[in-house]
């Protein structure tokens, strides 16, 4: 239900391209974490529980938030300067939000690393899932979603 709600809201609120790509980035992040834990289940006999579901929902919200921030900045730059190439707007948007994304991810990872190394066994795998999700989500917001936007919109990439 949470994923359906996120997809519904993103689809209404944003341009179809941006909504589609934000959902692709979200699916990418969730699939990677689920795949990693599937592998852990096979190799380490790890069983997922309700905390894993909570971590997946948290990763989904985190991933969409980061991607939306970058896409909003691209949209702002498009309104300001409609003559420049989309590639230039994407580069400018990533440059403008890169420090924010890295600081946010870094400050989120610090307590997660503390929980991994010093926390109890109850939150160990939960913290691992969140840490992997934060890393993958930051990468997909910075690199994957904007790159897919450029691939999807090839007409604006070619020089005029």
Whole-number pLDDT of residue 21: 92
Q: Is residue 118 exposed (0-12), middle (13-18) or buried (19+ Cβ within 10 Å)?
A: exposed
Domain parsing of the chain, residue ranges: 2-157
Whole-number pLDDT of residue 25: 94
CATH superfamily of 2-157: Multidrug efflux transporter AcrB transmembrane domain (1.20.1640.10)
pTM of the model: 0.88
Q: Which residues of 97-115 are buried (b: 16+ CB within 10 A; e: fewer)?
A: beeebeebbeebbeebeeb
Whole-number pLDDT of residue 155: 53
Q: Which segments in the chain show pLDDT lower than 50?
A: 156-160
Whole-number pLDDT of residue 159: 47
Whole-number pLDDT of residue 107: 96
């Amino acid at each position: 239900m949470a994923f359906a709600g996120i997809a519904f809201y993103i689809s209404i609120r944003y341009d179809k391209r941006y909504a589609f790509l934000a959902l692709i980035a979200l699916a990418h992040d969730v699939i990677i974490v689920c795949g990693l834990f599937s592998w852990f289940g096979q190799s380490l006999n790890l069983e997922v529980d309700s905390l894993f579901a909570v971590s997946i929902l948290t990763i989904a919200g985190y991933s969409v938030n980061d991607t939306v921030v970058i896409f909003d900045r691209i949209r702002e730059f498009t309104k300001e300067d409609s003559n420049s190439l989309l590639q230039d707007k994407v580069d400018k948007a990533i440059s403008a939000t890169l420090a924010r994304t890295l600081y946010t991810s870094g400050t989120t990872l610090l307590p997660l690393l503390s929980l991994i190394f010093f926390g109890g066994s109850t939150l160990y795998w939960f913290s691992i899932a969140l840490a992997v999700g934060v890393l993958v989500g930051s990468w997909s917001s910075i690199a994957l979603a904007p790159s897919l936007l450029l691939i999807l919109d090839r007409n604006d990439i070619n020089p005029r």
